Amino acid sequence: MRSAYWLAGAAMLALAQPAAAGDTIKIGFVSTFSGPTAVIGNDMRNSFELALDHMGRKMAGKPVEVIYEDDTFKPDVGKQKTQKLIESDHVDFIAGYIWSNVLLASLKPIVDSKTMLVIANAGPSQVAGELCSPYVFSTSWQNDQTPAAVGEYMNQKNVKSAFLIGPNYAAGKDMLAGVKSTFKGEIKGEEYTVWPSQLDFSAELSKARASGAESIFVFYPGAAGVQFLNQYTQAGLKGKMPLYTAFTIDETTLPLQKDNAIGVPGAQQWVNDLPNDANKKFVSDFRAKYKHGPSFYGAQSYDAAQLINSAVVAVKGDTSKKEEMRKAMEKADFKSVRGSFKFGNNHFPIQNFYLQDVVKGADGQLGLKTVATIVKDSQDRFHDKCPMK
Amino acid sequence: MLLLVEQLLNGLQFGLLLFLLAAGLTLVFGIMDFVNLAHGSLYMMGAYFASTFAAWTGSFIIGVALALGATLLLGIVLEFVALRHLYGRDHLDHVLATFGLILFFNDAVRLIWGPAGLALPLPTWLTVPVQIVPGLFYPSYRLAIIVVSLFVAAMLYLVVMRTRIGMLIRAGASNREMIGALGINIKLLFTLVFGLGAALAGLAGLMQAPILTVQIGMGENILILAFVIIVIGGIGSIRGAFLAAIFVGMIDTLGRAYAPDLLRHILSPAAASTAAPALSSMLIYLLMAIVLVVRPEGLFPASKR
């Protein structure tokens, strides 16, 4: 019995250790590391690790400890893991988040505890607008920005009408709203599918064909993008109803999409061939270390590590100075692999979007290539709703 | 009108695919009184085998044939090594053991094939749509699924209704102890039935593979539908599984196709587009609940005394 008291006492002491007194920079990284979408999570982790390698695994002279947590693709699990990182690991920063619905579920504990958050993918409109926070930054985009760029491109191509298909969750709604915000042609119909369980899109493709629309726009990230392209091709729509995409074709899905992806354009703020030095180093070192190319998920994670580093360096490793870290991060003072960009008042990037296409490389492998710049210095539509100035 | 025909074909195709999965499940559940949650894993293994063999041999057809044999074999080995020791036990033990098998198969696949998933590319003659009636183009591969599934369903019907093995299977579904008492080698029959169920699940998985992707856990969502089907159709009844599967496939597809348009008449467009996917995925479970209230035995229960 006595030993039980001793143990309890020791445990209390261990818990009572203040986090700031640690000599390491602790970062929690939440992403999906199991199931089919683990491909994305692994790409993010690999890129984050590569960024740490490039920094000598130290920030402002202090060693960095990263705790990776698997959200298993579920909002409730993501929230639990986030709470665990804040309450029991006392991390200085949280980064990651692929899925908008997982991020929205996890946001409150982060903001309430004033933990610094660097979002490396998800960009729900709420977080850019009314839910914006001084402690939340994004190294990716707001969901609407990329499809809005696709809509611009469709205007350039003089597309007269389109049928929109996307998954029924936070990001899917943002994406379709995004393309509608810029596309000037007629919307012949829009369909939302059950996410993530619906994988057969036959009913939606039949409706798209019957609608008489000139083209189709879709948003299907991860494995769903492979399935959509399979079924789109099998339905014989390729060549008849051109497909425009956001976040549907990338380096994690191309090995499975293969030739189905050829000739299907998309928009992105980062493509592997962007000609800046930071990007060349990132892509070639990534290839050397992991034997395949990084995706945009990885590029955003690499930038997330750099943004965190810029904050830690600015306060010389004293992560209790949150106001100073925030001010340092607002400057976006690091060599981003997408080229230089600025943060808006809501801490989302103001950045260029490029048209990307699938091409067969010299080695016969499919890869992505920048074709043109669609929009310059795009800022999301929700920054006005954010009370921060 | 053409759109309706096309959507009906979509529903039929999905229903038939579900039937292949549900047929094995209902046989194993009805005849062996064994709850097999790992049925979805066999579906997944069928897809992984087909994808691997097709890549090795370079031929879709040979890959599919080899995969069918491999899943049949896997089913028999699984029954022989693990499941046979569980027959006398409680249903809860079955659920626990086969849930363990799901985890085992998922991690085995992750070890062997990696987490990224595989593709099963179709030969070119299956990727072009065919014109069924003027103006109605339908993917030839989905049409092939319909033809193959109908053929398998017909064969299954002939085997179960017209052969001696089929007679034993039906007898087993009605009264397990009695056919054992009559001197039938029930162990062998069980192994055979389980192997057959596995092959059917594998067939469903490998046929679905070119439409979807081959990935870990692909059988888990669809298995829920298969359970719904055998509950609606009546446990142990192939005929019930067939009709219920078509019914569920139609409801699912037509619900997705028409619920948003119908809802737009009563709700605002924004609310309708949010509510429709949720509603159409609920329809099937509503149907199951109604069947359970009105006919708890299912619509076509295997005859019991």
Consecutive 10-residue averages of pLDDT for chain A (389 residues) = 54 48 86 88 96 95 95 94 96 96 95 95 95 95 96 96 93 94 94 86 92 95 92 91 96 91 94 95 96 95 97 94 94 94 95 94 87 94 91
Contact A191 B3 (CB under 8 A): no
Residue A82 lies in a domain: yes
% of chain B at pLDDT higher than 70: 98
At A16 the pLDDT is: 46
Q: How many structural domains does chain A have?
A: 2
Same-domain pairing of A242 and A299: no
Please report whether residue A383 resides in a domain.
no
Provide the residue range defining the domain that includes B91: 2-294
Is there a contact between B213 and A233 if contact means CB atoms under 8 Å apart? Answer: no
- For residues A107 and A17, membership in a common domain is answered with yes
Give the gap in angstroms from C-alpha A338 to the nearest C-alpha of chain B.
26
- CATH number assigned to the domain comprising residue B74: 1.10.3470
A241 touches chain B (CB under 8 A): no
Q: Which of residues 31-70 of A touch B (CB under 8 A)?
A: 34-36, 38-39, 42
- Chain A residue with minimum CA distance to B210: A230
Say yes or no: A200 and A244 in one domain: yes
DSSP A144: T
Tell me whether residue B202 is in a domain. yes
Q: Are B119 and A197 a contacting pair at CB < 8 A? A: no
pLDDT (tens digit, 9 = 90+) per residue, B13-26?
999 999 999 998 99
- State pLDDT tens for residues B161-172: 899 988 888 887
The C-alpha of A197 sits at a distance from chain B's nearest C-alpha, in angstroms, of: 7
CATH number at residue A162: 3.40.50.2300
CB pair distance less than 8 Å for B281 and A190: no
A193 to each of A7, A222, B18, how far by Cα in Å? 52, 15, 19
Residues A137 and A150 in one domain: no
pLDDT at A22: 63
Q: Do A194 and B281 touch (CB under 8 A)?
A: yes
Question: B104 lies in a domain?
Answer: yes
At which residue do the structure tokens 């090995």 appear?
A255
Structural domain containing residue A305: 2-141+275-340
Residue A346 lies in a domain: no
Chain A residues closer than 8 Å to B273 by CB: 168, 190, 192
Whether A136 and A149 share a structural domain? no
Do A186 and A50 share a domain, yes or no? no
The tally of domains found in chain B comes to 1
Q: What does pTM read for this prediction?
A: 0.87
Residue A347 lies in a domain: no
A71, A99: one domain: yes
Among B141, B257, B280, select the one facing A234 at the smallest CB separation.
B141
Residues A254 and A372 in one domain: yes
Are both A373 and A234 inside the same structural domain? yes
- B13 CB within 8 Å of a chain A CB: yes
Residue B305 covered by a domain: no
Asked whether residue A218 falls in the same domain as residue A184, the answer is yes
User: Residue A9: inside a domain, yes or no?
Assistant: yes
Which of B181, B168, B175, B156 has the alpha carbon at shortest distance from B303? B175
- The answer on A361 and A335 residing in a single domain is no
Q: For position B302, what pLDDT does the model report? A: 67
The residue of chain A nearest to residue B276, with distances taken between CA atoms, is: A192
Judge whether residue B187 has pLDDT over 90.
no
